[in-house]
Structure 1
Amino acid sequence: MRANQQQAAAAAEPTVSTNTDPAGGSGRDDSDSTVDPADKADSLAENARETAVEATVSTNASDPAGSCGGDDSDSTVGPADEGGCDSEPASAPALCEFADVETLELLSARLLNTMATRVVQGGLQPSDAMAEVRGLLSEKLSSAKKGPRGLAVLHARLEKLEARRSFGGRFVSNAADKVAGKARELEVRGEYRHGGRQRLALQLVQRYDTTREWHCGCDMEQLGSTERERHLTSCVFRPVGCSHAGCTALFSARYEAAHDGSCEFKVVRCALGCKESLPRRDMEAHVAGPCAMRPAECPFRALGCLAPGLVQGEVASHLEEARDAHLQLAMARLLQQDQELSELRQAMTEMRAAAETTAATSASAAASTIAGLQKKIAALEAGQAAAQAAAKKSAAQAKDTTAALATRLAKLERERG
């Protein structure tokens, strides 16, 4: 069930139109008048009464077969009139023309989409597409016990129409967009407007809904005036509007209780039990925010206050009543923190002393190591000096020896000569 649906008045234009046409149209008859939300329920009820009263004293525009949902599944009807959706057969019993609002709305949109599809993809003129759809009123219904029944047969035939290729029809790119555009174009024309399509949809529902699952079809001529009046205000298919301020939903009366149980505009008592009453759609924000019965925690919970069952509306009184207890908790926490701070200071002093001791020990060890290294360096330097002196001495001795040998060699050469 959709929230915003069109009124399914039987023989008159709908007085309220709030739903958007799924086929791409506006979903509103230009001739429809707008009803103030505050007076919507009364206006719809009065309109439904007037519509149905007219139906009891005039010809029925919706059941070409003359049975309006009876079991005569093999009956046929004469050819559909050549006009728009408003053409009416002349001799039919006066039946209750209330039908399921949502079913009529969906079928009305489907009819517009089917006609637009036939124009775009089938190459038909709008009047020919209309004639094809109206032709479904005269098609024979199968008496077979198996296979599709009721409105399933109608939708299957609409699908067959949409898939049909007329002579001259061709494949169309972006077909969905073009069909939607054609549907909007057709809807501004008088015979394709919402009100006319609603009446054609009602005729089709009365024709194909042989079990009367989606429409009433009661024989009003068999009822006395009092019974007729009672039926007009009690029929489960009569269109009604939500009575809650701000809600524009339209639906059949049989869904009134279900809608009331979920309507977001209905004023209900707070789910948590506070004294507030507010629209259902605002309840989530209410219970999560300002609700006095929202579960809450004491601001002193971190200090140890575990007040059980505390709610938002009791926080202020709890703070006042437990002020002394909260002060004691705060003092205990301050003393605890002071003790912890003293322990931290003592630990820091001990760590600093240990660090200084470690530093002194490390410095002494470093000095000893340095002294040892200095001694080794001095010994190495002394050894290097001795080696250099020995080398110089050896060099001088070698020089003297070389000079002596040279002198002796010179002497020997003179003696030979």
Structure 2
Amino acid sequence: MELPTANVDLGPKKIEHEKEEGPLLHCDFCDIEVVHNLAQMFMPGLACACVDNTTGDPFNTPGFVAVDLRKEMIEFVTQKSELFVAESIISEGGPDGEALEHPFDIISYFVDEFVNSKRNLWSQFSGWLLSDKREDKIDDFIQEMEVNGFWPLDRRETLAKDLLKNVDFKSSFHCSMSFNSAEDLANHVDACDFRTVICQNEGCNVRFSAGQLKEHDSTCDFKIVPCEQKCTANILRREMDRHCLTVCPLKLVNCPFSAIGCRSTTAQSMIRKHCSDDIESHLFLMLKGIHQPASSEDLQRRVEQIVQTSSRSKLAEAKDVRSFKRIVKDLEVKLGSLEVSAEEKTSTEEVAKNEDREENRTSAVNGVNKEDSEHRK
């Protein structure tokens, strides 16, 4: 049958022009992450189809049907991907329809459709699809295919690229540029946002498209970055949390004297300065624990006495509550007993008397109870 020639200009000029320009050359780059994820998804899909197709059949095994089902699967998803854009335009009114999804989701759906179509009756109605044994058998078959090199990764990635280009009509995940000469294409390849690059941070071997460099660099665990707490250190991003929580000099820590009531927090590198600057307040808190009945005025006078009769450097030597308390007690021995005001002394004596009366009353009650108990016997 002859091809129609109506409305087709086959004049000499156009033919000569096409011969001069030659066929268009297309850039072959795609989003390497999407391609890799698709390639990794094909193997489990094929394993599911093989296992579900042969389960309950004593004459077939997953390995026996793998070659044929792989061929059918490739043909099925390829045909679906080629029709995807046209079907989307019809169903959604155009390529911008909101129902269209990410290429990975679209192709995954095609693979699931194929897997579902290959389930035999036993698999569909026996409860096999929900069994743990099915998952184990699929995992074992995936491992068997990988060990035997049944479907190499590079071949799966080639298929993934073709499918991706078919469904990615917006060119969000592949380069759609074409060129008239190999030179133009070569110049473009060196600058294409979809060309594959490897992270240059030492220890990171992640591959991604060049256009994603900035995004990857902002999260790469192996990038050396300044300390988040603004110290002078530059460290690996992956070690940031440990650095900030342990060795960072600007890590906020509680005062060593928090056990006796100091509520200050300060940078780890400034803790000694804090202890030196706040000797009087720490002294007050320590004396308050030692001389509980004493008034604030009496304790404050005692603080002044200790500071006047000893060097601040000696008190600043204390690194914790225990050593600080020992120094304070040694200084108090030299100063003698704490002088308590008359009003405070009276109050203290009254408290002591009340405690004695309460103790005597308790003893008397216990004695009566004992006599009653003996009388009953």
Band of TM-score, shorter chain? 0.5 to 0.7
Unaligned segments of structure 1, at least 5 residues: 1-91, 364-417
How has the CA–CA distance of structure 1 residues 327 and 243 changed in structure 2, closer, same or farther, with 3 Å as cutoff? same
Q: Which residue of 2 aligns with 1:389?
A: none
After TM superposition, list the pairs within 5 Å mapping 1:176-325 onto structure 2.
Answer: 176-219=135-178, 221-223=179-181, 225=183, 227-300=184-257, 310-323=266-279, 325=280
Structure with more contact order per residue of length (Cα contacts < 8 Å, sep ≥ 6)? 1
SS at 2:162's partner residue? Answer: helix
Q: Which residue of 2 aligns with 1:348?
A: 352
State how far apart, in whole Å, the 2-side matches of 1:331 and 1:246 are.
Answer: 52
Q: Which residue of 1 aligns with 2:74?
A: 134
Q: Percent identity?
A: 22
How has the CA–CA distance of structure 1 residues 358 and 201 changed in structure 2, closer, same or farther, with 3 Å as cutoff? closer
Native 8 Å contact 1:270 1:276 kept in 2: yes
Q: Which residue of 1 aligns with 2:8?
A: none
Shift of residue 264, structure 1, vs aligned partner: 2.4
Q: TM-score, normalised by structure 2?
A: 0.58
Native 8 Å contact 2:27 2:185 kept in 1: no
Q: Tell me the alpha carbon deviations over residues 5-54 of structure 1, each in whole angstroms, 9 at most, x when there is no partner.
A: xxxxxxxxxxxxxxxxxxxxxxxxxxxxxxxxxxxxxxxxxxxxxxxxxx
State how far apart, in whole Å, the 2-side matches of 1:235 and 1:358 are.
Answer: 92
Q: Tell me the alpha carbon deviations over residues 65-121 of structure 1, each in whole angstroms, 9 at most, x when there is no partner.
A: xxxxxxxxxxxxxxxxxxxxxxxxxxx964222111221122112221232223222
| Structure 1 residue 161 corresponds to structure 2 residue 114 | yes
Shift of residue 352, structure 1, vs aligned partner: 3.2
State how far apart, in whole Å, the 2-side matches of 1:155 and 1:356 are.
Answer: 86
Shift of residue 230, structure 1, vs aligned partner: 4.0
Shift of residue 332, structure 1, vs aligned partner: 5.1
Shift of residue 259, structure 1, vs aligned partner: 1.9
State how far apart, in whole Å, the 2-side matches of 1:210 and 1:130 are.
Answer: 26
Native 8 Å contact 1:209 1:215 kept in 2: yes
Unaligned segments of structure 2, at least 5 residues: 1-22, 55-63, 93-98, 296-339, 368-377
Native 8 Å contact 1:303 1:329 kept in 2: no
State how far apart, in whole Å, the 2-side matches of 1:236 and 1:131 are.
Answer: 33
SS at 2:197's partner residue? Answer: strand
Q: Which amino acid aligns with 1:271?
A: E
SS at 1:310's partner residue? Answer: strand
Q: Which amino acid aligns with 2:117?
A: R
Q: TM-score, normalised by structure 1?
A: 0.53
More helix, by proportion: 2
**Aligned residues between the structures:** 266
How has the CA–CA distance of structure 1 residues 110 and 348 changed in structure 2, closer, same or farther, with 3 Å as cutoff? same
SS at 2:190's partner residue? Answer: helix
SS at 1:240's partner residue? Answer: strand
How has the CA–CA distance of structure 1 residues 118 and 333 changed in structure 2, closer, same or farther, with 3 Å as cutoff? closer
SS at 2:26's partner residue? Answer: coil
State how far apart, in whole Å, the 1-side matches of 2:168 and 2:355 are.
Answer: 94
How has the CA–CA distance of structure 1 residues 316 and 113 changed in structure 2, closer, same or farther, with 3 Å as cutoff? same
Select the structure of larger CA radius of gyration: 1
Shift of residue 331, structure 1, vs aligned partner: 7.3
